[in-house]
Copies of this chain bind each other. A is one copy, B any other.
Amino acid sequence: MAEDVQNSALPGVELGPLRENLPFLTRALRAYIRAENAAFYAALDAEQGEIVVLSVIGLNPGMSQNDLAATLVFKKSAITKLVKDLEARGYLERAKSATDRRFNALRLTAAGQERYARISDLIAQQNAAFLEPFSEPERVELFDYLNRLYRHLGQRQLQRTGNSSVIAEAGDD
């Protein structure tokens, strides 16, 4: 065998301004994490995105697909696929709301809750491995920062995407 991979974050290589470049860092982290997740997802027989959907719906029963899309930063067309698949596998239900029959109120089934419970232990382990070099207070701070970024970039998208004074509008798909 023996293909080739070099060290990453290669010792001798100078990153310079990239050390403080968000597009670079998020991309690099994403690439690493995706690689780790591949095995993880395969072992669980989980679709990409499934875990996060189960998690958000579990916490926010009755929410719409559009809200789910906005929360996860997916387009609604991507959510359709994910949600349909999870419904087909019996992990969630889409009930047309009686009061507004346009939208699907999403809820986990019992099987969905079980699945999520089972999976979430594994996720916690994985996350712990990712965070190994960080002390507990550092983790808190790190996630505080990341969540602030998430909210800030969400705000920016809203503005870019055409937001008429209030919330929720224009230019999704």
Interface-central residue, A4, A66, A129, A139, by most chain B CB under 10 Å: A4
Q: CB within 8 A of A20: which of B19, B73, B127, B157?
A: B127
| A15 & B146 in contact (Cβ 8 Å cutoff) | no
Interface-central residue, A6, A17, A36, by most chain B CB under 10 Å: A6
| Closest beta carbon of chain B to A119's beta carbon, Å | 11
Given A167-B7, A171-B3: A18 and B52 within 8 A (CB)?
yes
In the complex, what residues of B have CB within 8 A of residue A13's CB? 56, 60, 63, 67, 71
* A59 interface residue (CB < 8 Å to B): yes
| A71 & B25 in contact (Cβ 8 Å cutoff) | no
Interface-central residue, A29, A58, A131, A160, by most chain B CB under 10 Å: A29
| A20 & B139 in contact (Cβ 8 Å cutoff) | yes
| Closest beta carbon of chain B to A76's beta carbon, Å | 8
Interface-central residue, A31, A71, A158, by most chain B CB under 10 Å: A71
| A146 & B25 in contact (Cβ 8 Å cutoff) | yes
Contact residues of A between 141 and 158, Cβ < 8 Å to B: 141-143, 145-158
In the complex, what residues of B have CB within 8 A of residue A148's CB? 133-134
| A23 & B6 in contact (Cβ 8 Å cutoff) | no
* A42 interface residue (CB < 8 Å to B): no
Interface residues of A (CB under 8 A from B): 1-33, 35-37, 52, 55-56, 58-60, 63, 66-67, 69-74, 76, 120, 123-124, 127, 129-134, 138-139, 141-143, 145-158, 160-162, 167-173
